[in-house]
Chain A
Amino acid sequence: MTTQLSGPVTRARPAPEEEPAAKNGWIRIPLLAVTVAIAIWAAFPLIDNRAWTGLAILTATTAGLVYLYTTPRHVPLKYLAPGTILLVLFQIFPVLYTASTAFTNFGDGHRGTKQDAVVAIQTASVTQVPGSRQYALTVATTGDPATGPLVFLITDPATGQVSAGDASGRKDVTSEVTIGGTGRVTAADNYTVLNAGQASLRSQEITALAVPTEGGAIRSSGLSRAYEGRAGRAYDRNCDCIRDTTTGKTWTADESAGAFVSSDGERLAQGWKVSVGLSNFTRVLTDSAISTPFLRTLVWNFAFALASTGGTFVLGLLLAMAMHSDRVRGRTFYRVLLVLPYAMPSFAMLLVWRDMFNTDFGLINNLFGSHVDWFGGSASARLAVILVQLWLGYPYMFLVATGALQAIPRELSEASRIDGASPWAGFRRITLPLLMVALTPLLISSFAFNFNNFNAIYLTTEGAPFPADNPANGATDLLITYTYRIAFGGGGAQYGYAAAISIFIFLIVAVVSAVSFRRTRRLEEVHA
């Protein structure tokens, strides 16, 4: 019975390991049974959908868990497994997926496959021509009338056959339907029919929806009629191009760009997702609109993160020290009120702070009788966002510093006082080093959080003030809000490009944190 992976304590005394393990069986076995039951429940949809990879992962994970919690070995892993599984599923996997899009042109106009793009181009070019077949139309949804996905319930007047169509295509409806006097569907199982009011609210979406059919698409004309139109542009397999049937103009597929391009350089809006290698990364470094202000933003970004973290830490620690004495009357009263800013919802308070800094009717100008355009100048705007961060952040530091102070045995500071050390020396030599053991990792992660504190800027200044010559990069912009504007704002979503920039940001933060982390090794060894 050796436990190679467990700590020195258990290796030195392996004997007690077995007996209590048997004692704990009454709680462990039901827990394992629940795990297996959940796994079986989860397996059925995977089998139904023939998702064999998913099933294999599920089986392997479950088997691994059952083994892990029945063997006396691998003690650390028993404690790490629950969190690690959730971390891999919901954090690491999405992040890796996002990072992989950095090597593609994924974004608006480049979402699906080439086949999807061809269907989209053909569908968009549909027009009503003489002789187009007419249908009675009912707009329905499978979800909420206001937001659910739209479905066209179409009745063919000739055959009376009802079919349901959305952007992916058309299929016959086999479930129970009720057809009204005009030939329109008035109710159908599994669908919620939109009434005239609900439909007119979503008329834009209804007009835009085209149900692809062979050689064309079904589109709405008004809210109760639909027609099957003919596609003005069609894909030609021979030349791998899109041809306009009326003008004869062609757009040839460019596999490296994932788009159809005509000889005069015109690109069709609907393209497809292709791998673009490192071009997203080189664009960050060479595109002058990005690399020029990058350095300035980076410096401010560091200043913001340091000031926010350092400022809240100093303020929080000062308060925690001030309240860490039995002789302060009304400590509970202070504590309750001092953490109130933390109890307020931060996203809402950011918006409230923005209004308090408002030039014309903001509270701050009202109180001081001034008329300062706070977000108009670089210095005042930067000062303002840091002040807001101090307000939002100090209660957190106050709480953790209070917790850490209480973990320090009072005997230590008492002993130093008896030995004749001044309060300041006692704080510097004994309290602070012990505090730092617990708090340094928190400071690092607080720094990382503030480095990418999107809400702090986006909900207050939105990056303002902007210099006259560059409306894309403001004085209070952090790299992340700057990236957001370039990637998502204005010219449509460019996820691949945004992912490339976020990898740069990630590298910067990770390196800074890893370096600081190495320094905590020294601190930790005091206790190891």
Chain B
Amino acid sequence: MMTWIRQVGWRHLVGVAMLVFALAPIVFVISAAVNPLGTLSSSELVPTGASAGNFERLFEDTQFGRWFLNSLVIALASSAASVFISALAAYAFSRRRFRGRRVGLLSVLLIQMFPQFLAIVAIFLIFSTVTEYWPAIGFNTWWGLILLYLGGALGVNTWLMKGFFDTLPRELDESATVDGASHTQVFFRILLPLVAPILAVTALLAFIGTINEFLIANVFLTDQGSKTLAVGLFGMVAGERNNNFGMFCAGTLLTAIPTVLVFQLLQRYITDGLTAGAVKG
């Protein structure tokens, strides 16, 4: 019994304690979302009544469905593309030795540290010109915002992947090279399947980051119909906070659904320790 507590029991203790902390605010949001009064001041931790009124208002009074679609397309496309771009760069940084490698790595990290919201004035001016020349990738378009987000593809995720590449033994690709594989074959056939867990994790991080992005999207998307969830929901409580709180919480819950689904989809890769098997051979 004592060994069970020492080896397994503490794990459950930590898990349960964290569950309470993790779930309390979420339960509050759920109960506010189904609260028939729909105001902040009447919301409690435990639901006092159940009604779908907030959800109905959300779809009737706002273009929530449209926002949802916009967010989904933009987040899926930009996270998939950014994971691929990031993996390419991570391979170069981890496996290749070239001049400017360390400087490159450092710059990728440092450029992210400039306070982003100040660059917004510049981004606005740049895209005013882009909208004039190429309206297809200008303001209020999916493509424009996706491209803009891809500007940050080389960043934290590249570091995360490079760290993961570093932990894979070099003998793997060296032996493949000896067998006559090109660098593209080493990358696509050997390394990419092995780093699947980190690809899944970074895809999830990128997806969440994009769904939550507010500052740039707020400047970029001005048409009601082109807004993303973050911009739309924020606008909802910017003015009428107390009255719209129930509707806001309903929207928050629905916004969480795609993220949960993406996580479920990638769960297999995230939990499977693929490398442990590969290194054995």
A20 within 8 A of B: yes
Q: A348, B248: Cβ atoms under 8 Å?
A: yes
Q: A45, B134: Cβ atoms under 8 Å?
A: yes
9-residue interface stretch from B48-56, B57-65, B92-100 = B92-100
Q: B112, A391: Cβ atoms under 8 Å?
A: no
- What is the bound-complex CA distance between A277 and B4, given in angstroms? 69
Interface string of A104-146 (1 = CB under 8 A from B): 0000000000000000000000000000000000000001101
Give B98 Cβ to nearest chain A Cβ, in Å.
4
Q: A513, B109: Cβ atoms under 8 Å?
A: yes
Q: A93, B121: Cβ atoms under 8 Å?
A: no
Interface string of A382-411 (1 = CB under 8 A from B): 000000000100111001101110111111
Known contacts A75-B96, A83-B86, A438-B160; A345 and B233 CB within 8 A of each other: yes
> Chain B residues with Cβ under 8 A from A404's Cβ?
163-164, 167
Partner pick for A7 among B11, B95, B168, B279, CB 8 A cutoff = B95
In the complex, chain A residues 137-168 whose Cβ is within 8 Å of any chain B Cβ = 143-144, 146-147
- What is the bound-complex CA distance between A8 and B18, given in angstroms? 48
- What is the bound-complex CA distance between A219 and B264, given in angstroms? 59
Q: A348, B252: Cβ atoms under 8 Å?
A: yes
Q: B152, A91: Cβ atoms under 8 Å?
A: yes
Interface Cβ pair total, 8 Å cutoff: 344
A524 within 8 A of B: yes
> Chain B residues with Cβ under 8 A from A338's Cβ?
15, 18-19, 22
Q: A437, B167: Cβ atoms under 8 Å?
A: yes
In the complex, chain A residues 469-514 whose Cβ is within 8 Å of any chain B Cβ = 480, 483-484, 495, 498-499, 502, 505-506, 509-510, 513-514
Extra 10 A-B pairs, beta carbons < 8 Å, given A75-B96, A86-B153: A23-B182, A83-B89, A95-B119, A322-B15, A348-B248, A403-B198, A437-B167, A440-B163, A506-B113, A506-B115
A366 within 8 A of B: yes
> Chain B residues with Cβ under 8 A from A409's Cβ?
275-276, 279-280
Interface string of B251-281 (1 = CB under 8 A from A): 1100110011001100100111111100110
Q: Which of A8, A348, A396, A434 has the most CB of B within 10 A?
A: A348
- What is the bound-complex CA distance between A146 and B222, given in angstroms? 10
> Chain B residues with Cβ under 8 A from A89's Cβ?
151
Give B50 Cβ to nearest chain A Cβ, in Å.
19
Q: A344, B270: Cβ atoms under 8 Å?
A: no
B25 within 8 A of A: yes
- What is the bound-complex CA distance between A404 and B233, given in angstroms? 35
Partner pick for B15 among A77, A323, A448, A495, CB 8 A cutoff = A323
Partner pick for A505 among B21, B115, B276, CB 8 A cutoff = B115
B73 within 8 A of A: no
Q: B233, A348: Cβ atoms under 8 Å?
A: yes
- What is the bound-complex CA distance between A13 and B174, given in angstroms? 10
B77 within 8 A of A: no
Q: A21, B182: Cβ atoms under 8 Å?
A: yes
Interface size in chain B (residues, C-beta < 8 A): 124
- What is the bound-complex CA distance between A6 and B96, given in angstroms? 6
- What is the bound-complex CA distance between A355 and B155, given in angstroms? 33
Q: A328, B154: Cβ atoms under 8 Å?
A: no
A335 within 8 A of B: yes
> Chain A residues with Cβ under 8 A from B208's Cβ?
342-343
A-B contact pairs, 6 of them (CB 8 A): A75-B96, A328-B8, A340-B23, A391-B22, A402-B271, A454-B117
> Chain A residues with Cβ under 8 A from B98's Cβ?
5-7, 76-77
Known contacts A5-B99, A9-B173, A442-B156; A337 and B19 CB within 8 A of each other: yes
Interface string of A326-339 (1 = CB under 8 A from B): 01100110111111
Q: B230, A345: Cβ atoms under 8 Å?
A: yes
Which residue of chain A lies nearest to B237 when distances are taken between CB atoms in the complex? Answer: A351
- What is the bound-complex CA distance between A16 and B180, given in angstroms? 5
B212 within 8 A of A: yes
> Chain B residues with Cβ under 8 A from A402's Cβ?
270-271
- What is the bound-complex CA distance between A449 and B19, given in angstroms? 26
Known contacts A79-B91, A351-B237, A517-B106; A24 and B182 CB within 8 A of each other: yes
Partner pick for B122 among A94, A327, A337, CB 8 A cutoff = A94
Known contacts A347-B214, A441-B163; A83 and B12 CB within 8 A of each other: no
> Chain B residues with Cβ under 8 A from A524's Cβ?
166
Q: B263, A343: Cβ atoms under 8 Å?
A: yes
Which residue of chain B lies nearest to A353 when distances are taken between CB atoms in the complex? Answer: B25
Known contacts A337-B22, A406-B275, A480-B115; A9 and B177 CB within 8 A of each other: yes
- What is the bound-complex CA distance between A511 and B82, given in angstroms? 27
- What is the bound-complex CA distance between A351 and B117, given in angstroms? 19
Q: B21, A391: Cβ atoms under 8 Å?
A: yes
- What is the bound-complex CA distance between A356 and B28, given in angstroms? 9
B72 within 8 A of A: no
Give A444 Cβ to nearest chain B Cβ, in Å.
7
Q: A506, B114: Cβ atoms under 8 Å?
A: yes
Partner pick for B118 among A8, A315, A438, A502, CB 8 A cutoff = A502
Which residue of chain A lies nearest to B126 when distances are taken between CB atoms in the complex? Answer: A94
> Chain B residues with Cβ under 8 A from A9's Cβ?
95, 173-174, 177
- What is the bound-complex CA distance between A200 and B23, given in angstroms? 47
- What is the bound-complex CA distance between A347 and B252, given in angstroms? 10
Give B177 Cβ to nearest chain A Cβ, in Å.
5
Partner pick for A352 among B8, B95, B113, B249, CB 8 A cutoff = B249
B108 within 8 A of A: yes
> Chain A residues with Cβ under 8 A from B23's Cβ?
337, 340
> Chain B residues with Cβ under 8 A from A315's Cβ?
18
B80 within 8 A of A: no
> Chain A residues with Cβ under 8 A from B264's Cβ?
336
Q: B121, A344: Cβ atoms under 8 Å?
A: no
A194 within 8 A of B: no
- What is the bound-complex CA distance between A391 and B257, given in angstroms? 19
Interface string of A79-107 (1 = CB under 8 A from B): 11011101101111111011101000000
